Amino acid sequence: MIELLGLILISFFVTSFLLIPFIDLLFYLKRSPRFNPNFRKVVKKVTDTSTPIHNQLLAGKDINTPVGGGILIIPAVIVLSLAALLISRHRVNLEIIVLFLTLIAFGLIGFLDDFRKIFVSFSGKYAGIRGRYLLGLQTVMALFISLILYYVVGLNNIFIPIVGNVVLGWFYIPLAVFAILAFSNAFNISDGLDGLSTGLLTICLFAFLALASSTLNQDMAIFAGVWIGALIAYLYFNVFPARVYLGDAGAYGFGAALAVFGLLTGKILGLAVIGGVFVVIILSSLLQILSKRLLHRKLLPVTPIHMYLKYIGWEEPKVVMRLWLAGAIFAILGLWLALLSR
C-alpha cells in the first residue's frame, strides 16, 4: 500500500508538470487566427438566444475553454503504468494489455471528434462527427475487446453477491459489449459540467484500487494508482471554472476502460453500483429519448439529470459536489457488495 500511495503522488506530479504547457498549447490552437480563423465570428454567433435549452445551459463553455485534456492524460497513464510495472519488476500481463488497448482504441475514436473540435469552435450546433458513426465505431471496438476478454483472457462468468459465481458462457460477450458501450457514453454525457465526470471516475477508481489490493492483483492496482494520480492533476484544472475539458478522446477512453476494469475483476454488478451515478446519468438520457419517441413528449425539460438540476436553479458547483457525494456512497456500497462475493 505504501508503494501504491507513492505511485499516486508521482503520477500526480508528473502529469501536473506536463499539463501546464499542454493547456497553454490548446489555448493557442483554439484562439490563434492561423489555426482557427473563425473563432471571433463564432463567439458572436453563439450569443443567439434561440439555441436549445441544453446549449443555453452550457453557453460559453466550449467557446472560451479548450477541449482535449484526454489527448495528454491517456498516453501519460499508459507510459507511467508501464514504467511503474517495469521498475517494480512486474510482468505486463494480458489484463493490463487489454486495458491499454481499450484506452488507446476508444481514445482514438474520440480523438477523431476532438481534432475537429480543437480547430472548429462550438457554434450552437454539433461541430464533431455524427453520433451514429461514433456509435458504430464504438460498437465494433467494444465487440473486439469483448471477444478478447472471452476467448483470450478466458472470462465467462460474473459474481453475484450471496448467489456466488454464475457462468454465462458466450452470453458474456453481449453483456461485456453493453457494459463497455454504456459506460463509455455515460462518461461522455456526464462531461458537461466542470469536474463532474473526472471527480466521479476518481471516486470509482479508489473503490477499484481497494478491490484490486484486496484480491492481491498488484498489476491492476498499479494501473489504478497511476490513473488516480493523473486524474487528480487534471481535476485541478477542470474544477469550476474549468480551464480545460477532457474531450471525447478522454471521455470515451476513460469510460470504456472503467467498464473493462470492472469486467476484469469479475464484479460486473459491483461495477454497476460503484459507477451508479454514471448509470443514473445515462438512464435519464435514455428515458428522455424513449419518452419522445413513444409518447411524443419530453419526460423532463432537459436531460441528463445533472443538466436538469442546473436547469431548475442549482448552481453548477452544487450539482457537481452533491453528485460526487452520491458517487462516494455508490462506490462504498458497490465495494461492499463486491467484497461479499469473494
Grid cell 475483476 — which residue? 265
**CA 26, CA 46: separation in Å to the nearest integer?**
21
Residue ranges in the chain assigned as alpha helix (H): 2-31, 39-45, 53-57, 61-64, 69-87, 94-119, 131-147, 172-190, 196-214, 218-238, 247-265, 268-274, 276-290, 305-311, 316-340
Whether 67 maps to a domain, the answer reads yes
Whether 46 maps to a domain, the answer reads no
The residue with greater pLDDT, 206 or 123, is 206
**CA 40, CA 44: separation in Å to the nearest integer?**
7
Give me the mean pLDDT over the 197-201 stretch: 96
Give me the mean pLDDT over the 79-98 stretch: 89
User: Of 55, 29, 3, which is closest to residue 221 (Cα–Cα)?
Assistant: 3
Q: Confidence class of residue 78 from pLDDT cuts 50, 70 and 90?
A: very high
Give tens-digit pLDDT for 58-70. 665 656 788 899 9
Give tens-digit pLDDT for 93-103. 899 999 999 99
Local structure of residue 169 (DSSP, 8 states): G
Whether 48 maps to a domain, the answer reads no
Whether 47 maps to a domain, the answer reads no
Which segment of 103-107, 198-202, 296-300 scores lowest on mean pLDDT? 296-300
Q: Confidence class of residue 224 from pLDDT cuts 50, 70 and 90?
A: very high
Whether 140 maps to a domain, the answer reads yes
**Residue 157 φ then ψ, to 5°:** -140, 165
Whether 329 maps to a domain, the answer reads yes
User: Of 219, 198, 221, which is closest to residue 211 (Cα–Cα)?
Assistant: 221
Residue 289: helix, strand or coil by DSSP?
Answer: helix
Beta carbons of 172 and 157 less than 8 angstroms apart: yes
Residue 51: helix, strand or coil by DSSP?
Answer: coil
What range does the domain containing 239 cover? 2-41+53-340
* Count of domains forming the chain: 1
Give tens-digit pLDDT for 233-291. 999 999 999 999 999 999 999 999 999 999 998 888 888 999 999 999 999 999 999 99
The answer to whether residue 200 scores a pLDDT higher than 90 is yes
* 69 contacts: CB under 8 Å, gap ≥ 6: 19, 22, 23, 26, 234, 237, 238, 244, 245, 246, 247, 250
> For the chain, what percent of residues have pLDDT higher than 70?
86
| pLDDT at residue 286, as a whole number | 93
